[in-house]
Chain A
């Protein structure tokens, strides 16, 4: 195989794995959208918040220490050595569930029956609030996150792929980050668990019923508000997984919340209501933007990843406004 061909394969592989990461965030969107019709812009910030909280627990930070120190002139920062990964993750999940409960209680409850676009803007407000809150609670400095997932390039894969190259060509093997492979595996596992949950548990059935028809679900005695808390909790856990993956890869920092913006075109491609759609949409965007950058990027100045996904989604929308897997909309009067 020629090195050019192998480079292309490398780009595609990396694109696929980046796409899985996008899908992870998009998955949280789809869950909430299906159950409540809310387009939750704050999903990305939830990932950031979850990752911040996890790091905070791991390292034994005192929440709001900065604020406390400023207000009372004290010098508290840590309360001890921190805790092990498992305990930290469990506590973070509890925090995300508490958060879901609060969101339902303080925000969603009061916005029932509002236009979708109003709800969308409310979640933008929520995103801003959480961003400030997360920074206030744990500090805004960049943190490293390590929950024991291996990372770094795979030498084995480099060696294997080097042998594929044409004899005598200068090729040094493919670079694949082990972390990405792990992320892919975890994402796949998460999707399977979610599918099993929604197919085979009572709560799952209720979730699907609500997604299908709010009114009908209410009439058979499903509590919409409980469902919302559950869904936001699940979305919080998905956000935590996404936060761990992205955080381990590039540190826990503000830019992590921007992955929400990347998830939006994924959703447009995949449709807002389809879990397989979110995954395939993510893969298309991931591969598409990496290939575009690889082939066209050098000709027009590079950094095309900033906008390619949106422009692709835009073109796509012109021809299929309901997304790849969405249902066709028939307008009525």
Chain B
């Protein structure tokens, strides 16, 4: 078998603490990133950008964010849509108030604003646990969406109540607005995703990540061995909301272009992201990506096959997709609560021994 980890010994702690301790994994990931950065921009077209690549990237960030909070720190949130809205509206206010501001900074600041909002709505987590907290996060979901609907300042008093992304440039190339080339928006999103995936990995493998997981696995014991609960939970809320805010900002500025809060950031978006991390794998960075890809691409695929191929009506297919999603969620929770990422790990373990499993 060409995939091997035996014989790959570590002689130093830094060698053992790498993100991909197995040389083969490391090279595959580097090759994959190189392909994504260098080759894909030349192949990409409008359809692939709008239906596949950019949505997968944007939702991966949101899934990463929620996975930090739910998968690593164990705090279930149903407020993801609301926090994405905060990111989107922050980016809108920033670009319209400061048209000269660099787009990278706009997106990062939007994440920062969302992190602050996340901390405020995370405060109850000290006293509330489990699904009580999940219900409490619904308060943020509904309140935030209502706020962006009702306070005209947020949408610059536009008559329609909508916000629309102005054309903005990075290095002289439009990355938002109708004239942005597909490769530019794709690369812009990809940069954020790669950088923040790396940061998420670093955070979760270090001290902060361990304290999150300690709170998740047994909060009382964690507190007694010295993990400050409020600080730890709030840090998870802040980091998670930061990611979700960036995702919301990109979703609006780069992908949607125009948005109306109830439509774009409703409760169903919160569920969508939750499903991504359940199917992908709770507490797994890699799982956030496969979960997002799965939840975005599966409907696209089904539509192509059933509507495009068999000529079935769209509403019928939509019902089937609903059933399929619900069924898959239950299936994964029953069979593999750690999601696709765990299936992948198990496959790897089997591969390691292949073809002599005994």
Contacts and interface: CB of A to CB of B under 8 A. Distances in A.
Contacts of A70: 312-313, 316
A117 B278 CA distance: 12
B128 interface: yes
B138 A261 contact: yes
Interface majority SS (helix, strand, loop, mixed), chain A: helix
Contacts of A66: 313, 316
B320 A124 contact: no
Contact of B326 (A126, A300, A302, A317): A126
Determine the interface band of chain A, counting residues with CB < 8 A from chain B: 35 or more
A265 B128 CA distance: 14
A261 B137 CA distance: 12
Contacts of B318: 132
A311 interface: yes
Nearest to A71: B312
Contacts, number: 138
Given A118-B337, A303-B149, A306-B146, A132 B320 contact: yes
Interface string A265-309: 101100000000000000000000000000000001111101100
A202 interface: no
A114 B150 CA distance: 41
A267 B136 CA distance: 12
A333 B221 contact: yes
B135 A264 contact: yes
A314 B136 contact: yes
Interface string A152-191: 0000000000000000000000000000000000000000
Contacts of A304: 146
A268 B124 CA distance: 14
Contacts of A129: 322-323, 325-327, 330
Given A117-B76, A333-B224, A313 B135 contact: yes
B35 interface: no
Given A132-B323, A136-B323, A310 B143 contact: yes
B139 to A, nearest CB: 4
Interface string B115-148: 0000000001001101110111011001101100
Given A125-B333, A307-B143, A311-B143, A318 B134 contact: no
A86 to B, nearest CB: 30
B327 A125 contact: yes
B136 A121 contact: no
Given A66-B316, A70-B312, A125-B328, A321 B127 contact: yes
A279 B127 CA distance: 25
A300 B146 CA distance: 11
A310 B322 contact: no
A282 to B, nearest CB: 15
B271 interface: yes
B142 A307 contact: yes
A132 B220 contact: no
Contacts of B327: 125, 129
A225 to B, nearest CB: 16
Contact of A317 (B124, B321, B324): B124
A328 interface: no
A130 B326 contact: yes
Nearest to A333: B220
B131 A133 contact: no
A94 interface: no
A268 B135 contact: yes
A333 B225 CA distance: 13
Nearest to A42: B326
A246 interface: no
A314 B333 contact: no
A216 interface: no
Contacts of A127: 326
Contacts of A317: 124, 127-128, 132, 136
B267 interface: yes
Nearest to B135: A264
A111 interface: yes
A54 B130 CA distance: 35
B337 to A, nearest CB: 6
Contacts of B321: 132
A310 B138 contact: yes
B334 interface: yes
A197 interface: no
Contacts of A313: 135-136, 139
Q: Which 3 A-B pairs have the closest CB atoms?
A: A125-B329, A129-B326, A132-B322
5 contacts: A128-B326, A128-B329, A136-B319, A136-B320, A136-B323
Given A111-B334, A118-B333, A120-B131, 18 more contacts: A39-B131, A110-B334, A116-B131, A117-B76, A117-B131, A118-B337, A122-B330, A125-B330, A127-B326, A129-B330, A132-B324, A135-B315, A140-B315, A264-B138, A307-B139, A310-B142, A318-B128, A333-B220
